[in-house]
Structure 1
């Protein structure tokens, strides 16, 4: 079976390799064009630098571009002070790190902004380029750490919700078919999949008309055409495909390319040696599943096996 992957560590490394490093975004705000140009030239090699000549324009840029890692804003600008602009970015972008540039002694504004957590650091004009670069690098590192902690929290919450869903389904589902949709939906949400299919298996083959889709999936069920599904059932091992150099699309699976898939994970759900179902997780963007997350998927899938067995014989 070409490109079939059964080792979880290997799968994790293949999935992580899809992540293409990108320059972090930075927004620089100053009403003086020369300062904007200078800031742009200073940081363009290491950042994707966005520019705005006022606080109002900067808010429009953020609305269009989304979150940035670092904001550098001048303090004294017409219509809106830098501290006021930065305070308005906090609710929507709490992880963004904010730096203020000031050529004046706006002590009260700066102290209030710093104490409230709205400003990471202030730099006086004229600034030293090396000092500013060092401050911005520390700010970018701080942003990365904050995002990592936020992602860890969201991941833990999603995984707790997944396990709670499995338990709830085991207790409340009136039929075997009724267990499939909520479980598929929970797996898709927990691992940020663009699509998830949970399909029953009968006699070492996919059962007819038993594919259940999560709400995120927008494609037809083509699992019966994918040789990795057959391999997962036969081997009782996780199979994966990633859109990486050397990994070809299986013959006849035009949906891989048509739907823009970047990764496909097939997990057999096994109870006492019998494959009860297969779980298909599909991503249309780079997927960064660590080995511990893959182990959680595998463990959770086996718990689903208990649920399917219990529901089959006791409902």
Structure 2
């Protein structure tokens, strides 16, 4: 019968009325079995626990009278000994006290959840604001650099080109922040997947990486992959940057097709990491340090998943390999 009641149209605490019916059923059961209260007590505690998880403290205190009546009246009506009747004065305060403790803990958990929800809303608003607001000053910087480039020569021109590349990268990072926020809110990232030569793709992405160590590119000239070029650049820039920063040369970039997957591997020859840490590398804020906040690899995984693939860290002797797999789309299925 309770399932047929439209509780969502009633006040928030309306389901507490079910407790009164529950106490009535327990009292009737105790009377029907001749005053045997052995089964009544546990069910009274269960009713109180249910109420404590869903309703405020004042309802638990209001339950005290009907709960005591449901326990005590059948014992009196069936002429139970005074010792049995007197047990109500011990059992009921204990039941109410346990319920109040459960309610306090549940209230703290609800408060914590609401506080985390507010923090998440603030974080989302801050990320969106930063990602949007950074574009205006960057546009001015880019226009200024483009004007300077027209009259720059030699070393100055190379410096302006480098500044323009980094400005373009910040633009992409702002777009990435917006994309990550969109993933958090909708669970989906729209991709612009196109066929492109893998070697050209890798070389274009490396323009945004300052390379002062040995770098080996192992990509077949005839390999054509279907990926979102901008997202792939984010992936490769993150992985190569980490390999150059935390590993040792040479850093090897391999991109090859294996079965139904295109496999990108970025390997360094450094000390590697312990086995127990590899599974947590791609979590949010997992490996932050003085030079980062631990979001780079999380972004890599999200972008890999958006392509239908996966990201993993594999041990090498020596070093560590970051491996990204992309399933090869069927003909005509490129997004």
Whether the TM-score (by the shorter chain) exceeds 0.5 is no
- TM-score, length basis structure 1: 0.29
Larger Rg: 2
**Higher relative contact order, chain-length normalized (CA < 8 Å, sep 6+):** 1
Q: Whose helix proportion is higher, 1 or 2?
A: 2
Q: Whose strand proportion is higher, 1 or 2?
A: 1
- TM-score, length basis structure 2: 0.27
